[in-house]
Amino acid sequence: MTRLKGKVAVITGGGSGIGRAIALAFGREEALVAVVGRRRAALDRVVSELGQADYRALAVTCDITQEKQSKAAIEGVEREFGPVNVLVNNAGILSVSTIETVSEGEWDEVMATNLKGPFLMSRAVLPSMRRKGGGSIVNIGSVLGLVAMKQRAAYCSSKGGVTLLTKAMALDHAHEKIRVNCICPSIVETELVKGLFSDSEQGQQDREARVGTLPLGRFGKPGDIAELAVFLASDESSWITGTAIPADGGLTAY
Protein backbone atom coordinates (compact mmCIF):
# COMPACT_ATOMS: atom_id res chain seq x y z
CA MET A 1 0.00 0.00 0.00
CA THR A 2 1.33 3.44 -0.91
CA ARG A 3 1.35 5.87 1.99
CA LEU A 4 0.43 9.12 0.22
CA LYS A 5 -1.87 7.89 -2.53
CA GLY A 6 -4.01 10.71 -3.87
CA LYS A 7 -2.59 13.35 -1.56
CA VAL A 8 -1.64 16.68 -3.13
CA ALA A 9 1.80 17.78 -1.96
CA VAL A 10 3.65 21.06 -2.49
CA ILE A 11 7.43 21.07 -1.97
CA THR A 12 9.41 24.30 -1.98
CA GLY A 13 13.02 24.22 -3.05
CA GLY A 14 12.04 21.10 -4.96
CA GLY A 15 14.58 21.39 -7.75
CA SER A 16 17.61 19.94 -6.01
CA GLY A 17 19.05 18.34 -2.88
CA ILE A 18 16.65 17.48 -0.09
CA GLY A 19 13.65 18.95 -1.95
CA ARG A 20 14.29 16.76 -4.98
CA ALA A 21 14.65 13.68 -2.77
CA ILE A 22 11.36 14.46 -1.03
CA ALA A 23 9.60 14.97 -4.37
CA LEU A 24 10.82 11.60 -5.65
CA ALA A 25 9.87 9.85 -2.40
CA PHE A 26 6.40 11.42 -2.45
CA GLY A 27 5.96 10.38 -6.07
CA ARG A 28 6.90 6.81 -5.18
CA GLU A 29 4.17 6.90 -2.53
CA GLU A 30 1.68 8.08 -5.21
CA ALA A 31 1.21 11.67 -4.11
CA LEU A 32 0.44 14.32 -6.72
CA VAL A 33 3.58 16.41 -6.45
CA ALA A 34 4.08 20.11 -7.13
CA VAL A 35 7.71 21.24 -6.99
CA VAL A 36 8.14 24.94 -6.30
CA GLY A 37 11.20 27.13 -6.76
CA ARG A 38 12.81 29.99 -8.63
CA ARG A 39 14.88 27.95 -11.11
CA ARG A 40 12.51 26.62 -13.75
CA ALA A 41 15.06 24.36 -15.45
CA ALA A 42 15.81 22.53 -12.20
CA LEU A 43 12.10 22.10 -11.45
CA ASP A 44 11.47 20.76 -14.94
CA ARG A 45 14.22 18.16 -14.50
CA VAL A 46 12.60 16.85 -11.33
CA VAL A 47 9.16 16.78 -12.97
CA SER A 48 10.71 14.86 -15.87
CA GLU A 49 12.20 12.33 -13.44
CA LEU A 50 8.82 11.87 -11.81
CA GLY A 51 7.09 11.61 -15.18
CA GLN A 52 9.47 8.90 -16.35
CA ALA A 53 8.29 6.81 -13.40
CA ASP A 54 4.65 7.57 -14.31
CA TYR A 55 4.16 9.85 -11.31
CA ARG A 56 2.00 12.97 -11.68
CA ALA A 57 3.95 16.16 -11.07
CA LEU A 58 3.85 19.88 -11.72
CA ALA A 59 6.57 22.56 -11.79
CA VAL A 60 5.64 25.93 -10.27
CA THR A 61 7.98 28.90 -10.54
CA CYS A 62 7.69 31.04 -7.44
CA ASP A 63 9.67 33.35 -5.18
CA ILE A 64 8.44 32.20 -1.78
CA THR A 65 9.46 35.50 -0.16
CA GLN A 66 6.74 37.31 -2.12
CA GLU A 67 3.19 36.98 -0.79
CA LYS A 68 1.44 37.36 -4.16
CA GLN A 69 3.62 34.68 -5.72
CA SER A 70 3.11 32.31 -2.79
CA LYS A 71 -0.66 32.64 -3.01
CA ALA A 72 -0.61 32.25 -6.78
CA ALA A 73 1.50 29.10 -6.50
CA ILE A 74 -0.97 27.40 -4.16
CA GLU A 75 -3.93 28.51 -6.27
CA GLY A 76 -2.27 27.10 -9.39
CA VAL A 77 -1.63 23.74 -7.73
CA GLU A 78 -5.23 23.57 -6.51
CA ARG A 79 -6.55 24.28 -10.01
CA GLU A 80 -4.42 21.44 -11.40
CA PHE A 81 -4.66 18.81 -8.66
CA GLY A 82 -7.32 19.94 -6.17
CA PRO A 83 -6.97 21.09 -2.54
CA VAL A 84 -3.56 20.66 -0.97
CA ASN A 85 -2.99 18.01 1.72
CA VAL A 86 0.74 18.50 2.33
CA LEU A 87 3.13 21.46 2.29
CA VAL A 88 6.86 20.91 2.71
CA ASN A 89 8.70 24.15 3.42
CA ASN A 90 12.15 23.08 2.30
CA ALA A 91 13.65 26.09 0.48
CA GLY A 92 16.51 27.63 2.40
CA ILE A 93 19.93 29.26 2.19
CA LEU A 94 23.07 29.13 4.32
CA SER A 95 25.07 31.99 5.77
CA VAL A 96 28.56 31.43 7.20
CA SER A 97 28.96 34.53 9.34
CA THR A 98 28.99 36.20 12.74
CA ILE A 99 26.90 39.26 13.52
CA GLU A 100 29.96 41.35 12.71
CA THR A 101 30.73 39.79 9.35
CA VAL A 102 27.22 39.37 7.96
CA SER A 103 25.96 42.32 5.93
CA GLU A 104 22.53 43.74 6.55
CA GLY A 105 21.51 42.64 3.08
CA GLU A 106 22.63 39.05 3.64
CA TRP A 107 20.88 38.96 7.03
CA ASP A 108 17.64 40.12 5.40
CA GLU A 109 17.99 37.55 2.61
CA VAL A 110 18.52 34.70 5.06
CA MET A 111 15.52 35.72 7.14
CA ALA A 112 13.35 36.21 4.08
CA THR A 113 14.15 32.82 2.57
CA ASN A 114 14.41 30.66 5.69
CA LEU A 115 11.69 32.18 7.87
CA LYS A 116 9.46 34.54 5.92
CA GLY A 117 9.10 32.02 3.09
CA PRO A 118 7.65 29.25 5.31
CA PHE A 119 5.38 31.84 6.95
CA LEU A 120 4.00 33.05 3.61
CA MET A 121 3.63 29.58 2.09
CA SER A 122 1.94 28.22 5.21
CA ARG A 123 -0.49 31.13 5.32
CA ALA A 124 -1.23 30.70 1.63
CA VAL A 125 -1.98 26.98 1.99
CA LEU A 126 -4.33 27.19 4.98
CA PRO A 127 -7.55 27.90 3.00
CA SER A 128 -6.80 24.97 0.70
CA MET A 129 -6.17 22.61 3.63
CA ARG A 130 -9.38 23.76 5.28
CA ARG A 131 -11.27 22.84 2.13
CA LYS A 132 -9.66 19.41 2.36
CA GLY A 133 -10.57 19.01 6.02
CA GLY A 134 -7.01 19.10 7.31
CA GLY A 135 -3.43 18.61 6.25
CA SER A 136 0.21 18.34 7.18
CA ILE A 137 2.83 21.07 7.03
CA VAL A 138 6.42 19.83 7.25
CA ASN A 139 9.08 22.46 7.82
CA ILE A 140 12.67 21.58 6.99
CA GLY A 141 14.49 23.39 9.76
CA SER A 142 17.95 22.54 11.02
CA VAL A 143 19.73 21.10 14.01
CA LEU A 144 21.03 24.68 14.22
CA GLY A 145 17.50 25.66 15.12
CA LEU A 146 18.02 23.62 18.29
CA VAL A 147 21.68 24.22 19.12
CA ALA A 148 24.22 26.75 17.87
CA MET A 149 27.66 26.67 16.28
CA LYS A 150 30.28 29.28 15.47
CA GLN A 151 29.91 31.49 12.38
CA ARG A 152 26.22 30.74 11.89
CA ALA A 153 24.58 33.70 13.63
CA ALA A 154 22.09 34.59 10.90
CA TYR A 155 21.42 30.97 9.95
CA CYS A 156 20.85 29.86 13.56
CA SER A 157 18.53 32.80 14.12
CA SER A 158 16.44 31.96 11.07
CA LYS A 159 16.22 28.24 11.82
CA GLY A 160 15.48 28.84 15.49
CA GLY A 161 12.56 30.91 14.24
CA VAL A 162 11.39 28.00 12.09
CA THR A 163 11.41 25.69 15.13
CA LEU A 164 9.20 28.00 17.19
CA LEU A 165 7.02 28.96 14.21
CA THR A 166 6.34 25.24 13.82
CA LYS A 167 5.19 24.89 17.41
CA ALA A 168 3.10 28.05 17.34
CA MET A 169 1.31 27.03 14.13
CA ALA A 170 0.73 23.53 15.49
CA LEU A 171 -1.13 24.98 18.48
CA ASP A 172 -3.07 27.51 16.41
CA HIS A 173 -4.34 25.02 13.83
CA ALA A 174 -4.66 21.68 15.65
CA HIS A 175 -8.42 22.20 15.97
CA GLU A 176 -8.60 22.30 12.16
CA LYS A 177 -6.76 18.97 11.86
CA ILE A 178 -3.80 20.78 10.31
CA ARG A 179 -0.62 19.30 11.75
CA VAL A 180 2.71 21.12 11.71
CA ASN A 181 6.07 19.47 12.36
CA CYS A 182 9.70 20.31 11.78
CA ILE A 183 12.60 18.12 10.65
CA CYS A 184 15.95 19.35 11.98
CA PRO A 185 18.80 17.87 9.91
CA SER A 186 22.47 18.29 10.67
CA ILE A 187 24.84 18.31 7.70
CA VAL A 188 23.42 16.55 4.62
CA GLU A 189 25.26 15.75 1.37
CA THR A 190 23.79 18.32 -1.02
CA GLU A 191 25.17 20.74 -3.59
CA LEU A 192 25.09 23.43 -0.90
CA VAL A 193 27.24 21.40 1.50
CA LYS A 194 29.76 20.32 -1.12
CA GLY A 195 30.74 23.95 -1.48
CA LEU A 196 31.71 24.14 2.20
CA PHE A 197 34.75 21.90 1.77
CA SER A 198 37.41 22.49 -0.87
CA ASP A 199 39.31 19.71 -2.63
CA SER A 200 42.51 20.84 -0.94
CA GLU A 201 44.17 18.84 1.82
CA GLN A 202 42.93 21.35 4.38
CA GLY A 203 39.41 21.18 2.97
CA GLN A 204 39.35 17.40 3.28
CA GLN A 205 40.71 17.61 6.81
CA ASP A 206 37.93 20.02 7.67
CA ARG A 207 35.40 17.59 6.20
CA GLU A 208 36.77 14.67 8.19
CA ALA A 209 36.72 16.75 11.35
CA ARG A 210 33.06 17.61 10.75
CA VAL A 211 32.15 13.98 10.16
CA GLY A 212 33.92 13.23 13.43
CA THR A 213 31.31 15.28 15.31
CA LEU A 214 28.56 12.84 14.24
CA PRO A 215 28.24 9.65 16.33
CA LEU A 216 26.95 7.69 13.31
CA GLY A 217 30.13 8.59 11.43
CA ARG A 218 28.70 9.99 8.19
CA PHE A 219 26.92 12.98 6.76
CA GLY A 220 23.23 12.58 6.08
CA LYS A 221 21.83 11.78 2.66
CA PRO A 222 18.86 13.58 1.12
CA GLY A 223 16.96 10.30 1.25
CA ASP A 224 17.34 10.17 5.03
CA ILE A 225 15.33 13.36 5.31
CA ALA A 226 12.89 12.38 2.57
CA GLU A 227 11.78 9.21 4.36
CA LEU A 228 11.04 11.15 7.54
CA ALA A 229 9.08 13.69 5.49
CA VAL A 230 6.99 10.85 4.01
CA PHE A 231 6.12 9.69 7.52
CA LEU A 232 5.14 13.17 8.70
CA ALA A 233 3.06 13.75 5.57
CA SER A 234 1.26 10.44 5.90
CA ASP A 235 -1.64 9.37 8.11
CA GLU A 236 0.83 7.24 10.07
CA SER A 237 1.78 10.39 11.99
CA SER A 238 -1.80 11.54 12.56
CA TRP A 239 -1.24 12.04 16.32
CA ILE A 240 2.02 13.97 15.91
CA THR A 241 2.12 17.75 15.75
CA GLY A 242 4.30 20.53 17.10
CA THR A 243 7.49 18.45 17.06
CA ALA A 244 11.03 19.40 16.05
CA ILE A 245 12.70 16.10 15.20
CA PRO A 246 16.49 15.96 14.94
CA ALA A 247 17.72 13.92 11.97
CA ASP A 248 21.33 14.57 12.82
CA GLY A 249 23.44 11.43 12.98
CA GLY A 250 23.35 11.66 16.77
CA LEU A 251 24.83 15.16 17.02
CA THR A 252 22.39 16.42 19.65
CA ALA A 253 22.80 13.28 21.79
CA TYR A 254 25.93 14.81 23.36
SS percent in the chain: helix, strand, coil, step 5? 50, 15, 35
Over the stretch 154-163, which tens digit does the pLDDT of each residue have?
A: 999 999 999 9
Q: Are residues 137 and 173 in the same domain?
A: yes
Question: Residue 71: inside a domain, yes or no?
Answer: yes
Question: Residue 1: inside a domain, yes or no?
Answer: no
Question: Residue 143: inside a domain, yes or no?
Answer: yes
Q: Are residues 112 and 34 in the same domain?
A: yes
Domain that holds residue 106: 8-185+221-246
Q: According to the model, what pLDDT value does residue 43 have?
A: 98
Q: According to the model, what pLDDT value does residue 47 have?
A: 98
Q: Are residues 130 and 150 in the same domain?
A: yes
Over the stretch 50-67, which tens digit does the pLDDT of each residue have?
A: 999 999 999 999 999 999
Q: Are residues 49 and 174 in the same domain?
A: yes
Q: Are residues 102 and 171 in the same domain?
A: yes
Q: Are residues 145 and 211 in the same domain?
A: no
Active-site annotation holder among 26, 81, 155, 219: 155
Question: Residue 129: inside a domain, yes or no?
Answer: yes
For the chain, what percent of residues have pLDDT higher than 90?
Answer: 93
Question: Residue 2: inside a domain, yes or no?
Answer: no
Q: Are residues 152 and 169 in the same domain?
A: yes
Question: Residue 102: inside a domain, yes or no?
Answer: yes
Q: Are residues 25 and 81 in the same domain?
A: yes
Q: Are residues 209 and 92 in the same domain?
A: no
Query: Is 90 exceeded by the pLDDT of residue 188?
Result: yes
SS3 of 187-221: the string is CECCHHHHCCCCCCHHHHHHHHHHHCCCCCCCCEC
**Rounded average pLDDT over 91-111:** 97
Over the stretch 116-145, which tens digit does the pLDDT of each residue have?
A: 999 999 999 999 999 999 999 999 999 999
Q: According to the model, what pLDDT value does residue 1 have?
A: 62
Question: Residue 22: inside a domain, yes or no?
Answer: yes
Q: According to the model, what pLDDT value does residue 199 have?
A: 85
Question: Residue 3: inside a domain, yes or no?
Answer: no
**pTM reported for the whole predicted model:** 0.96
Spatial neighbors of 181 by CB under 8 A, at least 6 apart, are 136, 137, 138, 139, 166, 170, 232, 237, 240, 241, 242, 243, 244, 245
Q: Are residues 88 and 145 in the same domain?
A: yes
The helix (run of H) or strand (run of E) holding residue 238 is none
Instruction: Verify whether residue 55 is a known catalytic residue.
Output: no
Give the other-Cβ count within 10 Å of 147's Cβ: 16
The CA distance from 47 to 33, in Å, is 9
Over the stretch 20-39, which tens digit does the pLDDT of each residue have?
A: 999 999 999 999 999 999 99
Smallest CA-to-CA distance from 118 within 82, 160, 175 is with 160
Over the stretch 193-216, which tens digit does the pLDDT of each residue have?
A: 777 888 898 988 999 999 999 999
The total of structural domains in the chain comes to 2
Q: According to the model, what pLDDT value does residue 193 have?
A: 77
We report the CATH number of the domain holding residue 75 as 3.40.50.720
Q: Are residues 126 and 206 in the same domain?
A: no
**Residue 191's pLDDT band (boundaries 50, 70, 90)?**
confident
Q: Are residues 206 and 230 in the same domain?
A: no
